[in-house]
Structure 1
Amino acid sequence: MRQRALLDWWASERRDLPWRRTRDPWLVLVSEIMLQQTQVDRVLPYFAAFAERWPTPEHFAQAELSRVLAAWQGLGYPRRARNLWRSAAIITERHGGRVPADLNDLLALPGVGHYTARAVQVFAFGIDTAVLDTNVGRILARWTGRRLARAEAQRIADDLVPAGESWAWNQAMMDLGAQVCSKRDPSCGQCPAQPWCAWAGEVLGSEPSGQPDPAERSAGVSSRQAPFEGSDRQARGRLLAALSGDSLPTERAAAVMGLGHEEARARRLVAELIAEGLITGTGDRLRLG
């Protein structure tokens, strides 16, 4: 049985991660928001700090956004912190301080898409559904030997979930993708899924197949990100980092962002950050939140 083979492998190869030691829906949501487009190693210290400082949605909703953004500094994509802060307020006001289990209620929270909503359902509430992230999308494409549209990939993933074991199964799939069925240099010979994987049959064949990886551009599989150096993301991050210590004269924003010769671009980025609620402009000074 495929499910049992993978679960048996995972029993000895599982990663010990702090968010796997809790079923608290709030802490699960915090971890999933942090893990969006961010590597596990970077998230580890932030998750521990946030869990201790803001252990409930009520605690987090009462915090000043500027303090939240300052604590988030270095984790990247600060709009996620703002979305989590807004979600905490909604959870407190509309759901009595309890993270909802209903899919539509979860999707109504800022910054929560289908992946994050399903992750909360599975890892906090044990609901029998599948979480389709980049690792799982890659695995499914390789197992079937073809690119998959999102709806089909989600259906296949849902059908594979063993009844009553969604928590372990989804964790096992993620670990398989992170540790064995990696994007580059997958260890097909050591993979517990090798016997039923269509792509492994191609890779391990006696003759080079020349077949492209079916995971490329398949559903759930992330594409290569644009370079960070010189990007708007880098410039925005520099300004937010500077503001985490104190306010800043507006006229210094371009220099802080490394855009001293690109005043128009600097003004655009400042305006975007203000519109997103990540900074405020009062008089001639800029501040977090």
Structure 2
Amino acid sequence: MAPPGSRAAGPLPSGELAAGGLAVAADLPALHTALDDWFASNARELPWRAAECTPWGVLVSEVMLQQTPVVRVLPVWEQWLRRWPEPSALAAEPAGEAVRSWGRLGYPRRALRLHAAAVAIRDSHAGAVPGAYTELLELPGVGSYTAAAVAAFAFGRRETVVDTNIRRVHARLVSGSALPSQALTAAEMRLAASLLPEDPAASVRWNASVMELGAMVCTARAPKCGQCPVRDSCAWLAAGEPPPTYTPKGQSWHGTDRQVRGAVMAVLRVAEDPVAPELFHRAPADLGFEPDGIGIPLAALHRLNAAPEQLERALAGLLGDGLAELHRGGFRLPA
């Protein structure tokens, strides 16, 4: 999960650090070493971290991992890289194939953005993912976080990478807060920049290790403080683990337009021909469909009992987002 960020840099004014955070900032080399050693022994073996992973593989992983857990991303990432090992391979396919192969990762507009990025890489960068932050940022659908992460993890550049896990570690370790602010702030970016090692290779390891610590140990709901390699320097623990100043809100799903959109997309992914509008509004049994092929996702859609106006909003939204198009009077994935 990764919020949009910026490349704010420069030292953080001491007034923006908690007392425990001042101690952390004063002994950064020891902190870097502790997390580096921990990461070397505890990091998960993920394919996009492997030395042989291409920059394209890293870019695909970063887009897929936005708001999506690793366990769901792994099989889809592997399928994508087998089918489209280079950007030009994806660019040669219709955008709808990217959406179809996105499966149930959610937020399928990311698939369209990856396809558009692949086309731009083929047409403007001779098929090779660019390595500079500024060039990456010019790719369709690539924001500040993704540009920084790809530049760092695929090309070894010294970039300030700030995702949700990193923000949470910084908030507890340095600022003494249970959770980061609800929206990414300039102060958080300055803090992240001030903690970054000067050496490019060390900065890449630092970004990866802090991210891993947040994902595996310094979690949002049940942090495993006893397993933390830097617990003795943690400003939040030193302050007595004060509670968060707000309650994080989970995203609702059942009964929402998002759920209906997802069910409609499931129909379009398996459909070989354009789907007539009436199929979305009438139960498969009423239309003579057997419970196989397109009938399975259609039945799942109708079990939601969505109101007609909700279905219409879902279809109109998919058309507006470019995730579906009208063809011969029916709906299909984009060509």
Name the TM-score, length of structure 2 as normaliser.
Answer: 0.78
Count of residue pairs brought into register by the alignment: 277
Partner in structure 1 of residue 159 of structure 2 = 129
8 Å CA contact retained: 1:23, 1:123: no
Instruction: Verify the 8 A CA contact 2:260 2:306 in the aligned structure 1.
Output: no
Q: 1:272 aligned to 2:317?
A: yes
1:90 maps onto 2:104 in alignment? no
Counterpart Cα distance in 1 of 2:154 and 2:130: 10
Note if 1:113 corresponds to 2:138.
Answer: no
Shift in Å, 1:23: 4.6
Instruction: Indicate the residue corresponding to 1:213 in structure 2.
Output: 244
Q: Are residue 11 (structure 1) and residue 40 (structure 2) matched?
A: yes
1:5-154 equivalence runs, <5 A: 5-21=34-50, 22-143=52-173, 144-146=175-177, 147=180, 150-154=185-189
Amino acid at match of 2:249: R
Is the contact between residue 217 and residue 223 of structure 2 (CA under 8 Å) also seen in structure 1? yes
Structure 1 equivalent of residue 277 of structure 2: 250
Aligned to 2:233: 196
Identity of aligned residues (%): 41
Q: Secondary structure at the match of 1:244?
A: helix
How big is the shift at 1:65?
A: 1.8
Q: Once the 2 structures are TM-superposed, how far is the Cα of residue 59 of structure 1 from its aligned partner?
A: 0.5
RMSD: 1.9
> Highest relative contact order (Cα 8 Å, sep 6+), 1 or 2?
2
For 1:246-287, what per-residue CA distance to the aligned partner results, in whole angstroms no more than 9, with x for missing partners? 131112224544465522221122111112111111243111
Residue 55 of structure 2 contacts residue 129 of structure 2 at CA under 8 Å; is this kept in 1?
yes
Q: How many angstroms apart in 2 are the aligned matches of 1:261 and 1:275?
A: 20
Say if 1:122 and 1:129, in contact at 8 Å, map to a contact too.
Answer: yes
Amino acid at match of 1:267: E
- Is 1:288 aligned to 2:333, yes or no? yes
AA aligned opposite 2:268:
L
Asked if 2 retains the 8 angstrom alpha-carbon contact of 1:58 and 1:89, the reply is yes
SS of 2:187's partner is helix
CA distance in 2 between partners of 1:124 and 1:87 (Å): 16
Per the TM alignment, residue 108 of structure 1 is displaced from its structure 2 partner at its CA by 2.3
Q: Distance in 1 between matches of 2:171 and 2:99?
A: 37
Letter in 1 for 2:74: L
Are 2:231 and 2:237, in contact at CA under 8 Å, matched by a contact in 1?
yes
Paired position in structure 2 for 1:220: none
How far 1:228 moved relative to its partner? 1.2
Return the match for 1:232 from 257, 276, 279. 257
CA–CA distance in 2 between the matches of 1:90 and 1:8?
39
Task: Measure how far apart 1:111 and its partner are.
Answer: 2.1
Q: Within 1, Cα distance between the matches of 2:260 and 2:307?
A: 11
Distance 1:229 1:100, change over 3 A: same
Whole-angstrom CA distance in 2 between matches of 1:225 and 1:103: 32
Q: Give the TM-score of the pair, scaled to structure 1.
A: 0.89
Cα distance change of structure 1 residues 186 and 260 upon mapping to structure 2, 3 Å threshold: closer
CA distance in 2, matches of 1:48, 1:167: 24
Gaps of 5+ in 1: 204-208, 218-222
Query: Deviation at 1:112?
Result: 1.5
The structural deviation recorded for 1:202 is 2.8
Aligned equivalents of 2:215 and 2:31: distance in 1?
Answer: 19
Deviations 1:181-200 (A, max 9, x none): 11112122221111211101
SS in 1 for 2:239: helix
Structure-1 separation of matches of 2:306 and 2:209: 50
Per-residue CA deviations over 1:222-267 (Å, capped at 9, x if unaligned) read: x534211112221111111111121311122245444655222211
For 1:97 and 1:224, locate their aligned partners in 2 and report how far apart those are by CA, in whole Å.
Answer: 41
Alignment-derived partner of residue 169 in structure 1: 206
Partners of 1:24 and 1:156 in 2: CA distance:
30
Amino acid at match of 1:11: A
Deviation at 1:12, TM superposition (A): 0.9
Alignment pair present for 1:183 and 2:220: yes
3-state secondary structure, aligned to 1:286: strand
**Is the contact made by 1:254 and 1:262 (CA closer than 8 Å) also made in structure 2?**
no
